[in-house]
């Protein structure tokens, strides 16, 4: 039976690499991007494979009404969905909160958090499959700790991780796995924006971005490897986790499913005083 994957933000950067890798792995694709013309050029460079189809959807995820219309169109055109990859994201305003434009701040949450929520909610009925399905949400800087001068981006990504943990529990009985990928700092247009912003981004952020562009950043193929793993049967039993493509030894996880399922490892959790030896801080 044909496998279907939907990937957002598929016109450039990591999204384009995910499109290439999922296509070569045998998936029929629904690819969503604001600039959908670029997606056609990506498919022009890929081999034409039998029994695979590609559907390109132009949609501005910042517009909730357009997202709803797109969901109706998708559900009318594909019979089921095996994998949903929420990759699309925007940087949002850079600089101290008091200097941020509030509308732009809110639009960042719409694209990075609320649009993925809408896609998950709308497409879950197509993902109730006998063999299971997988939702993969892309996390980012600020999801696990404060990120000064990037309050909207960090808030949206932290929210996306907690949302993923929550629906992972809700969808367990449906056989739908939900996980997040922390991709690491990659050579992307979004990261290059930090160099342009300079002081507004902060010295630490500019230094990191400069190092990535000088020495090379995280591998997009490594992120794609992890996404394909999470889409495959090999990852069954892994859900509700935030997984680093760079630092986590996720290839070994299938050998330790019982240990992982009994633990809160690779999740967002509060750190109590007792966790750090401050026994006076907790009752």
Report the C-alpha gap between 55 and 43 in whole angstroms: 10
Residue 278, domain member (yes or no)? no
Structurally, how many domains does the chain consist of?
A: 1
What is the model's pLDDT at position 215? 80
What is the model's pLDDT at position 225? 97
What is the model's pLDDT at position 17? 95
DSSP secondary structure of 181-214? EE----S-HHHHHHHHHGGGT-HHHHHHHHHHHH
Residue 119, domain member (yes or no)? yes
At 4, is the secondary structure helix, strand, or coil? Answer: strand
Residue 260 domain boundaries: 3-183+218-267
Neighbour-count burial of 30, counting CB atoms closer than 10 A to its CB (0-12 exposed, 13-18 middle, 19+ buried) = buried
DSSP secondary structure of 122-144? HHHHHH--TT-EEEEEE--TTSS
* Residue 239: partners with Cβ closer than 8 Å, 6 or more residues away: 168, 171, 172, 177, 178, 179
What is the model's pLDDT at position 1? 80
What is the model's pLDDT at position 258? 95
Residue 58, domain member (yes or no)? yes
Report the C-alpha gap between 244 and 217 in whole angstroms: 14
In the sheet where 83-86 sits, what is the strand order? 54-58, 27-33, 3-8, 83-86, 133-138, 176-182, 242-244
What tokens were used for 97?
Answer: 């909160």
Phi, psi dihedral angles at 83 (to 5 degrees): -140, 135
Report the C-alpha gap between 138 and 140 in whole angstroms: 7
Q: CB of 140 within 8 A of CB of 181?
A: no
Residue 236, domain member (yes or no)? yes
pTM recorded for the entire structure: 0.95
Residue 259, domain member (yes or no)? yes
Binned average pLDDT, 10 residues per bin, the chain of 283 residues: 94 94 96 86 85 92 97 96 97 95 98 98 96 95 91 97 98 97 84 78 81 83 97 96 96 96 94 91 88
Residue 64, domain member (yes or no)? yes
* Residue 126: partners with Cβ closer than 8 Å, 6 or more residues away: 75, 78, 79, 80, 81
Count Cβ atoms below 10 Å from residue 99 Cβ, excluding itself: 10
Q: How many CA atoms lie within 13 Å of 148's alpha carbon, on the beta-carbon side?
A: 8
CATH number at residue 248: 3.40.50.720
Which H helix or E strand runs over 159? helix 151-170
What is the model's pLDDT at position 266? 96
Residue 197, domain member (yes or no)? no
What is the model's pLDDT at position 273? 93
What is the model's pLDDT at position 246? 93
Phi, psi dihedral angles at 218 (to 5 degrees): -65, 150
Please state, in angstroms and as integers, the Cα–Cα distance from residue 135 to each residue in 84, 127, 179, 235, 269, following that order: 5, 9, 6, 12, 21
What is the model's pLDDT at position 83? 98
Q: CB of 186 within 8 A of CB of 216?
A: no
What is the model's pLDDT at position 192? 77
Residue 207, domain member (yes or no)? no
Q: CB of 125 within 8 A of CB of 90?
A: no
Q: CB of 224 within 8 A of CB of 18?
A: yes
């Amino acid at each position: 039976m044909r496998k279907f994957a939907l990937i957002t933000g598929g016109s450039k950067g990591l999204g384009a690499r995910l499109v290439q890798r999922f296509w070569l792995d045998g998936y029929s694709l629904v690819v969503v991007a604001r600039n959908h013309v670029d997606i056609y050029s990506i498919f022009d460079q890929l081999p034409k494979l039998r029994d695979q189809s590609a559907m390109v959807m132009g949609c501005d995820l910042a517009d909730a009404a357009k997202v709803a219309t797109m969901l109706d169109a998708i559900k009318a055109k594909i019979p089921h969905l095996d994998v949903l990859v929420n990759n699309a994201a925007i940087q949002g305003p850079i600089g101290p909160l008091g200097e941020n434009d509030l509308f732009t701040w809110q639009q960042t949450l719409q694209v990075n958090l609320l649009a993925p929520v809408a896609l998950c909610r709308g497409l879950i009925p197509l993902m109730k499959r006998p063999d299971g399905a997988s939702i993969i949400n892309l996390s980012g800087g600020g999801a696990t700790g404060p990120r000064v001068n990037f309050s909207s981006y960090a808030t949206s990504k932290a929210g996306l991780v907690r949302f993923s943990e929550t629906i992972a529990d809700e969808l367990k009985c449906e056989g739908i796995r939900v996980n997040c990928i922390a991709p690491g700092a990659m050579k992307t247009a979004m990261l290059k924006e930090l160099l342009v912003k300079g002081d507004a981004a902060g010295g630490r952020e500019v230094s990191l971005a400069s190092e990535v562009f000088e020495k090379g950043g995280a591998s997009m193929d490594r992120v794609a490897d992890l996404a394909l793993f999470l889409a495959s049967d090999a990852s069954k039993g892994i859900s509700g986790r935030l997984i680093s493509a760079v630092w986590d030894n996720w290839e070994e996880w299938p050998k330790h499913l019982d240990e992982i399922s009994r633990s809160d490892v690779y999740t967002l959790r509060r750190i109590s005083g007792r966790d750090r030896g401050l026994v006076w801080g907790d009752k």
